[in-house]
Amino acid sequence: MTALEFHGVSVRLGRGRRAVTVVDDVTLTVPSGGVTGLVGESGCGKTTLARAAVGLVPLSGGAIHPRSRVQLVFQDPYSSLDPRMTVGAAIAEALPRRTRSDEVSRLLDLVGLDPALAVRLPRHLSGGQRQRVALARALTARPEVVIADEITSALDVSVQGLVLNLVREIQRELGLTMLFISHNLAVVRYVSDHVAVMRAGRIVESGPVEQVLSEPADAYTRTLLAAVPTLRSAPGA
């Protein structure tokens, strides 16, 4: 198993005077074999950090280890799959030809899908099924680290719990190191061992999930917690 380590990572997007620092001197360790949740408001740099980890955006400073054996599962299950490719073909792209059929069936079964779906096109699947396919595709490379970027935010509430349970089961079964990105503190608390809180491109607080979310040290973390809906604060309660 492998830890995912960010050392003083910075990312600037744009050119010249219009360049903006989106990730600012982030140092964070995702412990080997565990799940670390990364939370923060939209636009705080969470997705940019994830993309930097897999080489989709260049670093302007710092280092990330490892840069191989890391796979990213994207947020939108509707745009992350090629609509012209069958489920089986999408999963099999990175597999040796002689093992493709058996491995596609194994991976579909691993993510709780009927292997018969391999001949279907993405448009014939529900959002939850598509996200499972995206997860199966990420696992073809047998990664040691998986980054899940808001993978339940585009799904119906009734499906989110099923996908979260699946993620927990697969992470434990395969012993994966996982960075789980979400703006939903309840989701992060459910799946994570540790949590890091991001604001305006910087990590403002990190530690064991129960410690940070029960006794937050940073004012921004307290603000995020106060914004979580409760039965008492819900309209009409």
User: b/e map of 183-219 (b: 16 or more CB within 10 Å)?
Assistant: bebebbbbbbbbbbbbbebbbbbbeebeebbeebeee
- What are the residue boundaries of the structural domains of the chain, listed by start? 1-69+146-227, 78-142
Looking at residues 14-34, what average pLDDT do you find?
Answer: 95
Identify the sign of the CA torsion 136, 137, 138, 141.
Answer: positive
Does the pLDDT at position 185 exceed 70? yes
230 confidence band (pLDDT: 50, 70, 90): low
pLDDT band at 229 (very low <50, low <70, confident <90, very high): low
| Alpha carbon separation from 217 to 84, 186, 206, 214 (Å, rounded) | 49, 18, 9, 10
For residue 51, give the amino acid letter: R
Q: Which helix or strand (DSSP H or E) is residue 232 part of?
A: none
Whether the pLDDT of residue 221 is over 70: the answer is: yes
Strand order in the sheet with 4-13: 20-30, 4-13, 61-65
**Cα distance between residue 171 and residue 139, in whole Å:** 11
Q: What is the mean pLDDT of the chain?
A: 92
Over range 41-57, report the average pLDDT: 95
Query: In which order are the strands placed within the sheet that holds 177-181?
Result: 70-73, 145-149, 177-181, 35-39, 194-199, 202-208
Q: Tell me what pLDDT residue 232 has.
A: 47
pLDDT exceeds 80 at position 180: yes
Q: What are the pLDDT digits (tens) for 10-23?
A: 999 998 889 999 99
Strands 145-149 and 70-73 turn out to be parallel
The answer to whether 171 and 179 have CB atoms below 8 angstroms apart is no
pTM assigned to the model: 0.91
Question: Which pLDDT value is given to residue 107?
Answer: 96
Q: Say which residues have a Cβ less than 8 Å from residue 99's Cβ, sequence separation at least 6.
A: none
Q: Which residue has the higher pLDDT, 229 or 62?
A: 62
Helix axes of 127-139 and 157-174: crossing angle, nearest 10 degrees: 20
Task: Note if the bond before 66 is cis, omega within 30 degrees.
Answer: yes
Task: Please say if the pLDDT value at position 78 is more than 90.
Answer: no
| Alpha-carbon gap, residue 132 to 94, rounded angstroms | 17
81 versus 202: the higher-pLDDT residue is 202
Fold (CATH) for 1-69+146-227 = Rossmann fold (3.40.50)
Check pLDDT > 80 for residue 217.
Answer: yes
